[in-house]
A and B are shown apart, each in its own frame.
Chain A
Amino acid sequence: MYSLRVTNVSKHYSATPLLQNISFQLQTGEALAVAGWNGSGKSTLLRIIAGLVKPSAGKVQIFFDNEPISKERKRKLIGMVAPSLAIYEELTALENLEFFCRVRGIPHNREKCLDLMERVGLCEQANKMCRNYSSGMIQRLKLAQALLHNPPLLLLDEPGCNLDSKGMKVVERIILDQRSFGMTVIASNEEREVEYADRVINLSK
């Protein structure tokens, strides 16, 4: 069973503190929402958990059966969707997923990619160039890309960004499915997205 432990994480840029002593734990099957005003550090906290940004203090650890997981293996356990994470616009949606399958060393990639495209409702546009995608379709593709390796830890930064009601249902389904085998951290201000979580951390306080 996987667990995530965030201990006294702080982040400051120059002298300005952004996050101060954030601590929480998460177990497989749980979902946590991180709420807060714009600029409160929600995205930064998710980036710190993903290992994209180093915290100024504190640490983020992932455990499997109480054994800490190495930095190298951590990459294989995290799937992330965020506005700052882009996809290759010069490729088709399917090519994007196949590329990331190859990069991650996932075998039998075409079937898996088509499955995921269907799951996020993009199957009919699989061979369309991503530069011709709408922002909602790009968000769906980002969700598919984050799920390629069935990550035990799913980090969703504004998951409903640009999505219509059908797209929101896809997000809801993904978060519910994730509960059966992993953990989810959602950073959002949208009430509907926060409701998917069991617990909420408010960074505005």
Chain B
Amino acid sequence: MFALTTLIAVSFSIGSFRIGETEKPFLYAVLLWIILVFSALSGLSRSFVKEREAGTIDVLRLSARPQAVFLGKLFFNLTLLLALESIIVPLFILLMEYKIESFGFFAAMIISGGFGLAAGTTVVAAMIAQASARGALFSALSFPLLLPLMITGIKGCERAAIGVGVTGWPEVKISLAYVIIMITMSLLLFPLVWEE
């Protein structure tokens, strides 16, 4: 809902005609990533908080391996993000008349970015589930982690829109490297977070 509201607000207030043609690829990429990142920040913090509020977190701690819980939550967040992207990205393209020259690169960037967002936020969601000011803490902790991914995503989407320098899909590779690093680090650190 947050993503949809933001998208509609952006498309009505800015639209496609208020931005010059030369600035469109960069500014549209920025707007799209702002919507995606902040939607992720508003929704993905719930994955562990829900377990804590329902009182099921301790049953999981007693019965499941920490890594299994992490991978389950990661998969859940990933599914949620890919579903969100499949609605928001086509709507954004449609409402903003976003012209993309290299569509394959753009799609790969969005999907790998979704993996990155899910990987970056899952371990933070586990950390903040114990805290009282969860919302603010989740954003404060996630933002520095997601910044490199966001910058890469913006650059990649800009390149995809212009269609220049897309050979080898450099930003997709950086994004996938980010995913691998985040998942590896999370699998190593998650047991410490999970077991107090």
Residues of A with Cβ closer than 8 Å to B? 50-54, 72, 75, 78, 80, 82, 84-89, 100, 103-104, 145
User: Chain A residues near B56 (CB, 8 Å)?
Assistant: 85-88
Q: Which residue of B lies closest to A53 (CB)?
A: B196
* A52–B58 CA distance with the chains assembled, in angstroms: 7
Q: Which residues of B contact A52 (CB under 8 A)?
A: 58, 61-62, 196
Which residue of chain A is the closest to B72 with respect to CB atoms? A103
Given A51-B195, A103-B68; A89-B54 close (CB under 8 Å): yes
User: Total contacts A to B, CB within 8 angstroms?
Assistant: 42
CB closest residue in chain A, given B56: A86
Give B25-60 as 1s and 0s: 1 = Cβ < 8 Å from A's Cβ atoms.
000000000000000000000000000001110111
B133 proximal to A (CB < 8 A): no
Contact B60 A86 (CB under 8 A): no
B33 to A: closest C-beta gap in Å: 33
Provided the pairs A51-B195, A53-B196, A54-B196 are in contact, do residues A104 and B63 lie with their beta carbons within 8 angstroms? yes
Q: How far is the CA of A197 from the CA of B196 in the complex (A)?
A: 31
What does DSSP make chain B's interface, helix, strand, loop or mixed?
A: helix
A103 vs B65: C-alpha distance in the bound complex, in angstroms? 8
Given A52-B58, A85-B55, A86-B56, also A103-B63 (CB < 8 A): yes
Least distance between B119 CB and chain A CB atoms (Å): 22
The answer, yes or no, to whether B64 is at the interface (CB within 8 Å) is yes
Q: Name the B residues within 8 Å of A51 (CB-CB).
A: 61-62, 195
Q: A54-B196, A88-B54 are known; give 19 further A-B pairs, CB within 8 A.
A: A50-B62, A51-B62, A51-B195, A52-B61, A52-B62, A52-B196, A53-B196, A75-B63, A84-B55, A85-B56, A86-B59, A87-B59, A100-B59, A100-B63, A103-B60, A103-B64, A103-B68, A104-B64, A145-B59
What are the nearest 9 A-B pairs in CB distance? Answer: A86-B55, A103-B64, A85-B59, A103-B63, A86-B56, A85-B58, A104-B63, A52-B58, A100-B63
Interface size of B by Cβ–Cβ distance < 8 Å?
14
Give the complex CA separation of A52 and B124 in angstroms: 20
Known: A51-B195, A53-B196. A84 touches B58 (CB 8 A): yes
A residues less than 8 Å from B54 (CB atoms): 86, 88-89
Given the complex, which residues of B lie within 8 Å of A82, measured CB to CB? 58
Chain A residues near B55: list those with CB within 8 A.
84-86
CA distance A82 to B61 in the complex (A): 14
Can you name 24 A-B residue pairings with CB atoms under 8 Å? A51-B61, A51-B62, A51-B195, A52-B58, A52-B61, A52-B62, A52-B196, A72-B65, A75-B62, A75-B65, A78-B62, A80-B62, A84-B58, A85-B56, A85-B58, A85-B59, A85-B62, A86-B56, A87-B56, A87-B59, A88-B56, A100-B59, A103-B63, A103-B64
